């Protein structure tokens, strides 16, 4: 393990090393340093920035970052997503997965089972309409997962999943 990363589980440092990524420290000031790690950035279209802000902050609990008249940054569980204003958004095609039509263009998160269930309960309590309600798919097969799909006000698909183990995330043999 590289010096300075003893606070991280060895398998995490090894996984990042194996694909050529590395952790680095970005100084905040001379006394404090923060650890930076790979995060994803995703930009997506919305037809109404205020509706998007309401949905991502009030429904999903995201915090906002920078804003302009054309876009808003959101903290999506530590990842940066950005809603960009667009006058119109093309329809999203779907694909058949495990007997259900899934929006091809979608994004989301992999959560622990407890957090996944809390989110499912919270969304239901808030009256969010599920495109695909919370359920377990691929039961008894490699990659068995809890999943649910919702849409934001602009029609962007969001999927939230939970796997029993990290190994199941990239399981083969369905």
Q: Is the pLDDT of residue 2 over 70?
A: no
φ and ψ of 110, to 5 deg: -100, 120
Q: What is the pTM of this model?
A: 0.75
Superfamily of domain 94-170: 2,3-Dihydroxybiphenyl 1,2-Dioxygenase, domain 1 (3.10.180.10)
Cβ pair 158, 170 in contact under 8 A: no
Check if CATH label 3.10.180.10 holds for domain 39-88: yes
pLDDT for the residue 119: 96
CA-to-CA dists, residue 154 to 54, 59, 62, 129, 164, angstroms:
12, 14, 17, 14, 32
Task: Over range 112-119, report the average pLDDT.
Answer: 95
Residue 12 contacts by C-beta under 8 Å, 6 or more apart in sequence? Answer: none
pLDDT in tens, 133-163: 999 999 999 889 999 999 999 999 999 999 9
CATH 3.10.180.10 spans which residues of the chain? Answer: 39-88, 94-170
pLDDT in tens, 40-93: 899 999 999 999 999 999 999 999 999 999 999 999 999 999 999 999 888 888
Residue 50 contacts by C-beta under 8 Å, 6 or more apart in sequence? Answer: none
Give the rounded percent of residues in the chain with a pLDDT score beyond 90: 59
φ and ψ of 13, to 5 deg: -60, -45
């Amino acid at each position: 393990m590289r010096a300075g990363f003893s606070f991280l589980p060895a398998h995490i440092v090894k996984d990042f090393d194996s694909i050529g990524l590395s952790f680095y420290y970005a100084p905040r000031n001379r006394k404090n340093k923060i650890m930076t790690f790979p995060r994803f950035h995703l930009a997506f279209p919305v037809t109404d920035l205020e509706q998007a802000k309401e949905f991502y902050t009030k429904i999903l609990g995201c915090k906002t970052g920078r804003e302009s008249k054309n876009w808003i940054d959101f903290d999506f569980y530590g990842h940066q997503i950005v809603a960009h204003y667009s006058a119109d958004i093309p329809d999203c095609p779907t694909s058949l997965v495990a007997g259900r039509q899934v929006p091809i263009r979608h994004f989301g998160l992999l959560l622990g089972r407890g957090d996944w269930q809390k989110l499912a309960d919270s969304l239901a309590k808030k009256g969010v309409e599920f495109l695909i309600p919370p359920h377990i798919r691929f039961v008894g097969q490699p990659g068995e997962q809890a999943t649910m799909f919702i849409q934001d006000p602009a029609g962007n698909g969001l999927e939230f999943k939970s796997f029993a183990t990290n190994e199941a995330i990239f399981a083969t043999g369905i």
